[in-house]
A = this chain, B = another copy of it.
Amino acid sequence: MMSVSNAQAKPSIQICRIMRPDDANIVGNVHGGTILKMIEEAGCIIGTRHCNTQNGDHCVAALARVERTDFLYPMFIGEVAHVSAEITYTSKHSVEVQINVLSENIVTGAKKVTNKATLWYVPFSLQNVSKITEVPPIEYSSSEQEEAGKKRYEAQKLERLETKERNGEILMSVSVPEPYTVAFSQSSLIHLIGPSDCTLHGFVHGGVTMKLMDEVAGIVAARHCKTNIVTASVDAINFHRKIKKGCVITVSGRMTFTSNKSMEIEVFVYADQLVEAEKGKYRAVTAFFTYISLDKDNKPLPVPPLKLEGEEEQKRFDEGKARYLQNKAKRLADKECQQ
């Protein structure tokens, strides 16, 4: 047992990583989101570590608030991001973490402070997820320092209370479609094409598009029947136009048909050339996915029937039914052939 004593452990940490093509846009600028995610990881490590330094329930520090964060300089692929985090204030139930982000060009040696951030964490018990545990106090180098921390704490507490009310309000105004209708389960996602999504000449791999289509179809199916769902089949898909690097693709799905034990979902892919002025948005791919719902032993469950609204939906349902019956007949014929 080679366990290392951490009696002297200061509440600080540093994490770093090389920025890869997938962390950046096509011009090479690292996404702000990549940096925010690293900042939060550092905060979560130091916060969780600190909150477990005294006896009591084991806990995990959950992010409660991020103060305004500025991005002072762009960061680039191949640079190393250094994120250093330090605990600067603790209240009874929260921890303030201050973070500095530095970009280092390991080839030229240039270093720049790109971000400063302040995060607030609250520790939740691992045994009882709704219980907030107590935070061990830190030592301050001066009473002024402690006083300044307390002021920051009070200010953010006030602001948190305000936004809590605001968020509650808006929740009510969302009009929700009736369960089991097409409108209830229909879903849409957008995906910014990254370098790893593309072939050598900068077009999106067909497999990437199909994976996103299946993802949307799965969300539509899960929203409809609220159980564990799996892909049963995919109809033929034609790729007429290639989708280029730097595009945003929008993938939308809507349910068209339900049988006793299956759901058919139509999926559309639109490609949107963001930067190049030329084209605008165009439909790139369409397909039908069939999903089934499974119980805990992976046996098929009955599917709630789709509630249709209007002629359009009825027409699509009937077309779906025709496809369903045709596939069923074909499967039977194939079986007989094999016998």
Q: Which of A30-38, A87-95, A138-146 contacts B (4 or more CB under 8 A)?
A: A30-38
> Shortest beta-carbon distance, A130 to chain B, in Å?
10
A32 and B291 alpha carbons, distance in the complex (Å)? 10
Whether the pair B108, A234 counts as a contact (CB closer than 8 A) is: no
- A107 in contact (CB, < 8 A): yes
Report B-chain residues with C-beta under 8 Å of the C-beta of A59: 107, 275
Whether the pair A109, B205 counts as a contact (CB closer than 8 A) is: no
Whether the pair A237, B66 counts as a contact (CB closer than 8 A) is: yes
Contacts A36-B214, A124-B201, A280-B3; A195 near B196 (Cβ below 8 A): yes
- How many copies of the polypeptide does the oligomer hold? 3
The interface residues of chain A, by DSSP majority, are classed as mixed
> Shortest beta-carbon distance, A295 to chain B, in Å?
10
Report B-chain residues with C-beta under 8 Å of the C-beta of A15: 15-17, 189-191
Report B-chain residues with C-beta under 8 Å of the C-beta of A68: 233-236, 327
Whether the pair A17, B124 counts as a contact (CB closer than 8 A) is: no
Contacts A110-B3, A188-B188, A286-B163; A58 near B207 (Cβ below 8 A): no
In the complex, which residues 275-331 of chain A have their Cβ closer than 8 Å to any Cβ of chain B?
Answer: 275-277, 279-283, 286, 289, 294, 298, 327
Report B-chain residues with C-beta under 8 Å of the C-beta of A169: 4
Whether the pair B36, A207 counts as a contact (CB closer than 8 A) is: yes
A194 and B195 alpha carbons, distance in the complex (Å)? 8
Whether the pair B6, A48 counts as a contact (CB closer than 8 A) is: no
Report A68-108 CB contacts with B as 1/0, cut-off 8 Å. Answer: 11111110011010000000000000000000001010111
Whether the pair A4, B174 counts as a contact (CB closer than 8 A) is: no
Report A216-248 CB contacts with B as 1/0, cut-off 8 Å. Answer: 101100110011101111111111101000101
Whether the pair B109, A52 counts as a contact (CB closer than 8 A) is: yes
Whether the pair B106, A211 counts as a contact (CB closer than 8 A) is: no
Number of interface residues of A (CB under 8 A): 143
> Shortest beta-carbon distance, A225 to chain B, in Å?
9
A contact set with B: CB distance below 8 Å: 1-4, 6, 13-18, 20-22, 25-27, 29, 31-34, 36-42, 44-45, 48-49, 52-53, 58-60, 62-74, 77-78, 80, 102, 104, 106-113, 119, 124, 126, 129, 156, 159-160, 163-164, 166-167, 169-171, 174, 176, 179, 187-192, 194-196, 198-201, 203, 205-208, 210-216, 218-219, 222-223, 226-228, 230-240, 242, 246, 248, 270, 272, 274-277, 279-283, 286, 289, 294, 298, 327
Known A41-B205, A189-B190; 18 more pairs at CB < 8 Å: A3-B111, A6-B109, A6-B280, A6-B281, A17-B215, A18-B44, A18-B215, A42-B190, A49-B106, A62-B206, A63-B207, A67-B236, A71-B230, A109-B223, A188-B188, A189-B189, A226-B274, A226-B276
6 A-B pairs with least C-beta separation: A32-B231, A40-B207, A63-B206, A33-B214, A33-B211, A3-B280
